[in-house]
């Protein structure tokens, strides 16, 4: 859910900026993309990352990098288009399901790959960081969803 949250934050942050100045927000957006993609690309390029590990952490990191590229595309699209078409929202929410599944896989693989910490330390600790960020994001959306469900319906107000 980490990638889903990145797009969510970019979208809602850009709405505070007037429409004619949102292009400037893309510089901030590019910095966030670099902060998310840079470390992942660095770890995947390290020679130690290609060593054998009992869990497919390298494949999982590759999936995370792919989702990071997709998230950057969504964030650029959502910050520049106003209003955002329903089809984009639908594809974004589907992306959220995929991101949630990838975060769950990351957590399971990381929890079962403690031996990889000595063999491929950068890869293992990157997976730990991605697991923590996915858990935090899932918690954020869980609380947000709970508050949304608890909010009284406006149709019943008199």
Q: How far apart are CA 6 and CA 21, in angstroms?
A: 20
143 vs 50: which has the higher pLDDT:
143
pLDDT of 158 reads: 46
Residues 6+ apart with CB under 8 A from 150: none
Say how far apart CA 116 and CA 135 lie, in whole Å.
Answer: 21
Please name the residue that has the structure tokens 């009992």. Answer: 54
pTM equals 0.84
- Span 102-107, average pLDDT: 93
Q: What pLDDT, in 10s, does the model give residues 111-136? A: 998 888 888 888 999 999 999 999 99
């Amino acid at each position: 859910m980490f990638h889903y949250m990145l797009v969510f934050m970019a979208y809602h942050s850009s709405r505070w900026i007037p429409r004619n100045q949102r292009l400037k927000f893309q510089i901030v957006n590019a910095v966030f993309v670099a902060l998310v993609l840079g470390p992942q690309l660095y770890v995947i390029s390290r020679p130690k990352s290609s060593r054998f590990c009992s869990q497919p952490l390298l494949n999982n990191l590759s999936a995370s990098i792919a989702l990071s590229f997709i998230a950057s595309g969504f964030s650029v699209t959502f910050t520049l288009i106003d209003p955002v078409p329903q089809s984009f929202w639908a594809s974004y929410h589907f992306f959220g399901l995929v991101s949630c599944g990838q975060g769950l896989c990351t957590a399971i693989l990381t929890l079962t790959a403690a031996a990889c910490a000595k063999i491929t330390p950068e890869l293992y600790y990157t997976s730990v960081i991605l697991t923590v960020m996915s858990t935090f994001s899932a918690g954020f959306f869980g609380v947000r969803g709970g508050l949304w469900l608890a909010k009284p319906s406006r149709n019943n107000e008199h």
